[in-house]
Amino acid sequence: MTLKGGVREVLATEMLEALGVNTSKTFALFETGEELERGDEPSPTRSAVLTRLSHGHIRIGTFQRLAFFGQAENIAELVRYCLENLYGEPAAASDKENALQLVDLVSQATATLSATYMAAGFVHGVLNSDNINVTGESFDYGPWRFTPEWDPDFTAAYFDHYGLYSFGRQPEAIHWDLAQLAGCLSLVAEAPALSDRLTDWSGRFEQALVEAMLRRLGVAPAGGQADRDLAAALINALASREATIDRIFFDWRGGRDPGEAYPSDAFRALAKALEGREQPAARLHPYWSDPEPCSMHIDEVEAIWSAIVESDDWGPIKRKVNAIHRMGDAMGADATAA
């Protein structure tokens, strides 16, 4: 891969992990010293080898390939492998039961992945079925972005002219990918039964989104409608785009109302929804007293790369990774304290 792509993946995976997204991790990035020719960016460019850590590398696209060739026996065998080795679930004697169980597990995993993308403000860029791991681990980042504001139309990929994978359409795209998995498994199980397993996805996504939004805000769940109302008020406030996503979560961390800094009706409604739910323990780490939140917007990503490509200066990326770790420590430690 290109060195630039490797640098970008380091930054993406570090930030996503800190924000609670189930993601592959970057173990090592080595520059090879070779010049790499690419058809989609200026060439020649510096090349690298990136080593990822993940629990599995089986994609929905892996099943699609087997289905294309009509290899039902191999699909059944791969389903058993995924259940036993990736999910730690015992496979049944029936291929049909195994297929239904796998769809159910992948449904929950991808619903959670979609929800945590939204809470993180992350836009993957290319959410086709070959970029969705059946474990729900995020990986294979292309032209990703963190959207500065809660903008459903924000698009990461320069070639995504119709916003197919825009910020607000990511749940739709991932649900479509899950439907492709169910279609492949129809070679070993009845299509109506598989289709029934897909109907729960929207509810699972909505519940996972509520949990992810409250987790990033640093507010403990109360359960039921109260949490749904709070998450709705939070999303409505974010959608006002009066401040960046990172700034809003930073300022309101632990359910604290910053008061005059957010006078609009949307934020006053959020303050109302948070009454009685403030958790000062969620702001104990010194990070929450910093003047600015730790963000990962494209201008900073490009500046980090420029330092490397122009003067072989790796200081900015090392400092940024350390800053991300500090933010992750703050969120993790405070969640435990809360």
Share of the chain above pLDDT 90, in %: 92
List CB contacts of 48: < 8 A, sequence separation 6 or more.
Answer: 1, 2, 3, 5, 6, 29, 30, 31, 32
DSSP 281: G
Run of H or E including 191: helix 191-198
Paired sense of beta strands 122-123 and 45-53, if any: unpaired
* pLDDT reported for residue 336: 37
The string of pLDDT tens digits covering residues 216-255 is 999 999 999 999 999 999 999 999 999 999 999 999 999 9
pTM above 0.85, yes or no: yes
The string of pLDDT tens digits covering residues 103-158 is 999 999 999 999 999 999 999 999 999 999 999 999 988 789 999 999 999 999 99
List CB contacts of 97: < 8 A, sequence separation 6 or more.
Answer: none
d(CA 211, CA 78): 32
Q: Which of 331, 293, 298 is nearest to 116 (CA)?
A: 331
List CB contacts of 311: < 8 A, sequence separation 6 or more.
Answer: none
What 3 state SS string does 203-268 have? HHHHHHHHHHHHHHHCCCCCCHHHHHHHHHHHHHHHHCCCCCHHHHHHHCHHHCCCHHHCCCHHHH
* pLDDT reported for residue 333: 54
> For residues 118 and 210, is the Cβ–Cβ distance under 8 A?
no
d(CA 83, CA 179): 18
Would you call 200 a catalytic residue per the annotation? no
pLDDT for residue 338 is more than 60 = no
The string of pLDDT tens digits covering residues 271-309 is 999 999 999 999 999 999 999 999 999 999 999 999 999
User: The tokens of 116 are what?
Assistant: 């945590």
The residue annotated as part of the active site, out of 40, 95, 130, 140, is 130
pLDDT for residue 328 is more than 80 = yes
d(CA 301, CA 316): 10
